[in-house]
Chain A
Amino acid sequence: MTFEEFVRRHQARLLRFATVLCADGSLAEDVVQEVLIRVHNRWDLLRGYERPEAYVRKMIVNEHLSWRRKWSRQVPVADIRPAGEIPDPAAGHADRQALLAELARLPARQRTALALRYYCDLADPAIAEVMGCRPGAARAYIARGLAALRVANAAGLALILED
């Protein structure tokens, strides 16, 4: 497979994954582009991998977690508190938007772990492998993230309590 074929086949999926990680489409573009430039430079090596897209996904996670990028791009978002309750038939949509806003405020590692679990459907060992940490740490990221988002998860809350 040529690099161009790889990009054509996987770029959209990588962009969606990066968008989920970054909670920001523009940042996702930057992340994917930076990663693909490096993939391009190393394609002669990577093309021999059984699943290069898995390696590239890991590169995207690493790029997302890189501290300097976080320093430069992390955007704090203020709590927006409506003045009063307004009945809205689009309440479900609003709830999701609120959840997305809270998700964007999570520490990057927690958000990454949640994305790998709930978007990529990876198990703890696979999440740990992608994030370069121990499975226990991955579980802790997930538990803390779920707790911060107030998502019901008995196992996650137990982990928090253990800490």
Chain B
Amino acid sequence: MRTEDDLRAAFAALADTAPSPADMLPPLSRAERGKPRRRRTAPVLATAAAVAAIGVAVPLAVVRTHPQPSASPPARQPGCSMAAADFVFFRVDPVPGADLGGSRGVSCLSRGAYLYNATGGLLGALQVWRPGVFDPTEVRRGRPAAIAGHRGYIGTYTVPAGQPPLGRPVPWTGAVAWEYAPDAWATISAELAHPLSLPLALKVAAAVHAEDPAPLRVPLRLSYLPAGLAPTNIGASPPDMNTTFGAAADFGFTRNANGGCGDPQRCGPPLEVVAQYTGETSLRGAPGRQIRIGGHGGRLVPVVTPDRAGRDHPAPGIPPQVWVQVGHWRITVSVNVNATDLGLTTDDLIRIAAGATPAASQTDRSTWFDARAALP
């Protein structure tokens, strides 16, 4: 049995690992001080981060056994090359007792979202995989079961997952997997330490309507992309009036056919474009150097952050993050720090941002764009 002194010592040791103040905030002193913000801007980055979870080789689970992690990853990793036509759209109905973190409403394959209980505790994760990218070999060793009206399995399944911004492998075990369309799988997973109950997992599974023919609508349209980039994910989040988080759109792109997903630690969209409704009309307070560029009647004012926190883009050849304010939307264009071979420059990112058009309304989805037409 541990003691409270052990806990105090552990906290003290943890505090000793804190980053050095010298490592962060260099741009802050240059930032223009503005009026108090009405809405958070952090969700831009948070959304970008969350979006990076899309396409993760993830885990499933419910089972309380303790399987040994796989010695090797599944033969098929979530490939990232795809055309917009490959997307399968789905929606998730509300499920009492399982809050789908930040991802209510429509989104597209492959889309992942964490599941929380009523008190915010992590339950597990839902992932709907694009056709052809999920290797079901391991899940087929589980117990066959009809799940959400489809052929599925219940059992243990460990996937050595890990994806920026998570940054490190996250071996979870899985218990529920079902084939919602030919060679297209969805999974509900949980961490070993926080197993999700099977009945709840099945309720979540039943709430996923992956065959919904309604096309995904996103509140952002891009008119420029550097040659050779293919989309890895397209997602949209409606506004959450309870938390004042605005609507968001998130796009991921890759130049590599495998999207860098061969190594789970290096997965994630090499290029991300995220739009977040902030309710603000300027980039006041955003760190970095402001540069006015053309387009959109001169409304665009990108903020180039050379070294946000001094560590976001430490690798040579990685262009800085570009922030752009268009109307009440903040658009962020950034390159994954691991994507050293993407070959994009700051000018590329600015051109992408300059060609971005957000929806006229964050609440009226009729003003949003059909995802299949949202890319150049």
Contacts and interface: CB of A to CB of B under 8 A. Distances in A.
Contacts of A71: 46, 50, 101-102, 113-114, 116
Nearest to B7: A118
Interface stretch (B128-136, B163-171, B204-212): B163-171
Contacts of B25: 7, 11, 33, 36
Contacts of B191: 76-78, 105
For A44, A78, A114, which residue has the most chain B Cβ atoms within 10 angstroms? A78
Interface in B4-58: 4, 6-21, 23-25, 28-29, 31, 33-37, 42-43, 45-47, 49-50, 53
A150 B35 contact: no
For B23, B42, B165, which residue has the most chain A Cβ atoms within 10 angstroms? B42
A65 B170 CA distance: 22
Interface of A: 4, 7, 11-12, 15-20, 23, 25-26, 28-30, 32-34, 36-38, 40-45, 63, 65-79, 81, 95-96, 99-100, 103, 105, 107-109, 114-115, 118-119, 146, 149-153
B149 interface: no
Q: 10 shortest A-B CB distances, which residue pairs?
A: A71-B101, A72-B50, A76-B191, A19-B18, A16-B15, A119-B11, A72-B49, A11-B21, A16-B18, A78-B171
Contacts of B358: none
Given A114-B7, A119-B12, A4 B170 contact: no
Interface string B154-188: 00000000000111101110000000000000000
A interface SS class: helix
For A19, A29, A36, A70, which residue has the most chain B Cβ atoms within 10 angstroms? A29
A41 B37 contact: yes
Given A15-B18, A19-B17, A41-B33, 13 more contacts: A7-B21, A15-B19, A20-B15, A25-B17, A33-B24, A66-B243, A67-B102, A67-B243, A68-B46, A69-B42, A71-B46, A119-B11, A151-B2
Interface residues of B, number: 70
Contacts of A81: 66
26 contacts: A12-B21, A15-B21, A16-B18, A20-B11, A25-B19, A32-B24, A33-B28, A38-B285, A40-B31, A43-B33, A66-B243, A67-B243, A68-B43, A68-B50, A70-B122, A73-B166, A75-B170, A76-B122, A79-B193, A95-B2, A99-B10, A108-B120, A114-B7, A119-B11, A152-B1, A153-B4
